[in-house]
Chain A
Amino acid sequence: MSDYNFAYLDEQTKRMIRRAILKGLAIPGYQVPFASREMPMPYGWGTGGVQVSAAVLTPGDRFKVIDQGADDTTNAVSIRKFFERTTGLETTTSTAQASVIQTRHRIPEAALAEGQVLVYQVPIPEPLRFLEPRESETRKMHELEEYGLMHVKLYEDISRHGHIATSYAYPVKVEARYVMDPSPIPKFDNPKLAECPAIQLFGAGREQRIYALPPYTGVVSLDFEDHPFEASKADHPCGLCGAEDSYLDEVIMDDAGGRMFVCSDTDHCETRQAAGHRGKDAA
């Protein structure tokens, strides 16, 4: 498509975004304000991730887009198509072959490698937002490293429910400094944030924030000594590929409420099936 610049954004805008990314990488976990642009898709549908991807993609990249872990969900299809049209780049569904992966709500099951970039779509970048609605206040709390409120919230969960009642967008602390929202990934994925060889970039378009984790960054999920963090998932193997250790979607099969569990990461599941793994529900 010749009407628009490579990856849609003009070079000035890309430069502005790249500066925000570099600043984010220099201060892991810190939310960098950036002048988010109106994109041709709605705010809340991945405009932050799209702008970050547009700023980091270069000719020769291989791009993968997932939503809920899957390459074939409608919004993933739509975003992939947008970049196919505006960059002419080759896209892939293979995690291993992708150089840039844009994701919503999951980290791929396959371990990422050096040289890869994982771009997260972020709805609410501020981990303290639902404790304090004012941006002017939460920025001050980060400045002063004043995270007591968050610990009180987690403690209240334990006293009420016996557990920390946060199952996704579970807050983490980065390099013992900033408390960060990992975007709404299930807490099952949290351990993969830490010491990851790939670059992890987080883009929040509507909220005009970018933050980042450079490779091999220390990331710790918040917890208490007597209530340690626990990554949880449905206690089943995948019905299609038999994987015991992947995050699962629950699919309702019939009117009687029969259900099966399948890998949320479609590439992971297909790769395993191609290698001969079979679950109990596989054809």
Chain B
Amino acid sequence: MYVAVKGGESAIENAHAWLAEERRGDKSVAELSIAQIREQLSLAVNRVMSEGSLYDADLAALAIKQARGDLIEAIFLIRAYRTTLPRFGTSEPVKTGEMSCDRRVSATFKDVPGGQVLGPTFDYTHRLLDFKLAAEGETPDAPAREAGPGDVPHVAEFLGREGLIEEAPRDEAAPPDLTREPLEMPAGRALRLQALTRADEGFTLGLAYSTQRGYARNHAFVGELRIGAVPVEMEIPELGFAVEIGEVVLTECETVNQFTGSKTEPPQFTRGYGLVFGQTERKAISMALVDRALRWQELGEDNEGAPAQDAEFVLYHADNIQATGFLEHIKLPHYVDFQSELELVRKLRREVADNRTREAKE
């Protein structure tokens, strides 16, 4: 006997209760604090802040805890929270040239004013599991030295003085805000960069990698990668001048890419640009490569039909919150549509069978 399923409500509540229990895990193991996540899983926190488009390490850590370490779920929590916040206004453009750099490397020059600063990087670690960490030993303090003066000039400026790299003139137009306006094509560079900085790290990495393997290859060098804190200033209308309202850590990557020039333009390097919240250098480099690939039209390059050149393809599929929602919605009931397909397939099969019988008789 069929009884229409009732009680969806209590099933949902019970599922939530079980989820909460699983999130906590074995209660004989100490619970993680938000501060522990913020301090010891800081790269996860950075990713959640950058793709969540909200610079708040404590909230990102809370989201990671609530999401059981599922970073896309954590990003979703942050986005859903962010959308409820009022927008007060726009900050002044941050001056990354004045960044107090924790890390700053250039792959195009052996040395540059401001120096090469490795900073806290995995780059030259040997990827050997450190079993000492499992024994909960304390980490010795790293040697310290006086911070260098801020104001480290961008490497691209040196190339710019000789006209060797395309100019990047300051654009005074207010950039659009894709969290307040629908993303419509064609999208200008400011809008593309905005979409890329919150794009899924894995998707951006895959696209960037595809350009390196020949799908719209653009010969990128990391002209400069820098990570550090910059002050954020905002003009307060009542005051009439800009005041510092806080500080954010950013990763900035500027790539130097080949460009053959044209009949009117002498050969010149071109740029790709990545700027991401927190220490997120894989993402920032990926972003710069994809940005450069998307600029094929304005630089007079051929459309090779490569995925990374296709702004609609890239921008409409780069957001992991949109992607995961739509992907996972196929778990929802679809039996009404499936029923209509069932009826259709049965009807078509019946007709084929009837035709066969008729032909056999003839």
A residues near B, CB below 8 A?
Answer: 4, 10, 33-40, 42-45, 47, 67-70, 72-78, 81, 104-106, 123, 134-136, 161-163, 165, 167-169, 184-188, 206, 208, 232-234, 239-240, 247-251, 253, 260, 262, 264, 266, 269, 281, 283
Contact = CB atoms under 8 A, between A and B. Distances in A.
Interface in B310-362: 312, 316, 321-322, 324-329, 332-337, 339-344, 347-348, 351
Contact of B12 (A69, A77, A206): A77
Contacts of B336: 68-69, 105-106, 168, 184-186, 247, 249, 264
Contacts of A185: 336
B2 A262 contact: yes
Interface in B68-92: 76, 79-80, 82-84, 86
A15 to B, nearest CB: 13
A28 to B, nearest CB: 20
A238 to B, nearest CB: 11
A35 B351 CA distance: 48
B314 to A, nearest CB: 13
Nearest to A233: B343
B351 A42 contact: no
23 contacts: A10-B84, A38-B76, A38-B80, A38-B83, A43-B325, A43-B329, A44-B325, A44-B327, A44-B328, A44-B329, A45-B329, A72-B5, A77-B9, A78-B12, A105-B334, A135-B312, A168-B336, A168-B337, A184-B334, A185-B336, A186-B339, A232-B347, A260-B2
* Ranked 3 nearest A-B pairs via Cβ: A43-B325, A44-B329, A42-B325
B4 A262 contact: yes
Given A44-B329, A262-B2, 8 more contacts: A35-B182, A75-B332, A75-B333, A123-B326, A136-B312, A162-B348, A206-B326, A240-B2
Interface of B: 1-2, 4-9, 11-12, 76, 79-80, 82-84, 86, 179-186, 312, 316, 321-322, 324-329, 332-337, 339-344, 347-348, 351
Contacts of A123: 326, 329
A119 to B, nearest CB: 17
Of the listed residues A39, A81, A167, the one surrounded by the most CB atoms of chain B closer than 10 A to its CB is A167
B86 to A, nearest CB: 8
B83 A134 contact: no
Contact of B181 (A10, A35, A77, A240): A35
A163 B344 contact: yes
B83 A163 contact: no
A81 B9 contact: yes
B354 to A, nearest CB: 11
Contact of A184 (B9, B83, B337): B337
A161 B340 contact: no
B329 A42 contact: yes
B71 to A, nearest CB: 15
A186 B337 CA distance: 6
Contacts of A208: 182-183
Nearest to B327: A44
B89 to A, nearest CB: 14
Contact of B340 (A10, A36, A45, A232): A232
A234 B343 contact: yes
Contacts of B340: 167-168, 186-188, 232
Contact of A250 (B4, B181, B342, B348): B342
Contact of A38 (B5, B79, B86, B316): B79
Contacts of A37: 83
A32 B301 CA distance: 34
Contacts of A36: 182
Of the listed residues B2, B327, B329, the one surrounded by the most CB atoms of chain A closer than 10 A to its CB is B2
A260 to B, nearest CB: 6
Of the listed residues B325, B341, B347, the one surrounded by the most CB atoms of chain A closer than 10 A to its CB is B325
Contacts of A45: 325, 329, 332
Contacts of B1: 281, 283
Given A167-B344, A260-B2, A234 B339 contact: yes
A44 B326 contact: yes
Nearest to A20: B182
A44 B340 CA distance: 21
A106 B336 CA distance: 8
Given A72-B4, A74-B11, A123-B326, A43 B343 contact: no
Nearest to A167: B340
Nearest to A106: B336
B329 A167 contact: no
A182 to B, nearest CB: 12
A147 B344 CA distance: 25
A43 B337 contact: no
Nearest to B177: A35
Contact of A40 (B80, B180, B183, B343): B80
A184 to B, nearest CB: 5
Contacts of A161: 348
B9 A253 contact: no
A81 B342 CA distance: 32
B332 A266 contact: no
Given A10-B84, A168-B341, A234-B339, A42 B348 contact: no
